[in-house]
Amino acid sequence: MTTATPELLTVSDVMARLKVGRSKVYDLIRSHRLASIKIDGARRIPADAVRDFIQNQLAEAA
């Protein structure tokens, strides 16, 4: 039985997906609105966390 490894995105990937700047991505991470991990100093964001963030924003806007 194998489990799928989550897709990890770079800050630049998230910037492109959300159409926001680098500072905004780090603000979202710092405020715990966007989950992330560090791998040897490199920040990585699970693609699922980006999808969850978008869904939460849509739910708040409704």
pLDDT tens digits, one per residue of 22-44: 999 999 999 999 999 999 999 99
Residue 12: which pLDDT band, with cuts at 50, 70 and 90?
very high
Residue 2 has pLDDT above 70, yes or no: no
Burial class (CB in 10 A: 0-12, 13-18, 19+), 9: buried
The whole-number pLDDT of residue 6 equals 82
- Helix (H/G/I), strand (E/B), else coil: 37: strand
Residue spans of alpha helices (H) in the chain: 11-18, 22-30, 47-61
Phi, psi for residue 37 in degrees, rounded to 5? -130, 160
Q: Which two tokens stand for residue 53?
A: 């963030």
Residue 3: which pLDDT band, with cuts at 50, 70 and 90?
confident
Read off the pLDDT of residues 42-61 as tens digits, 9 standing for 90 and up.
Answer: 999 999 999 999 999 999 99
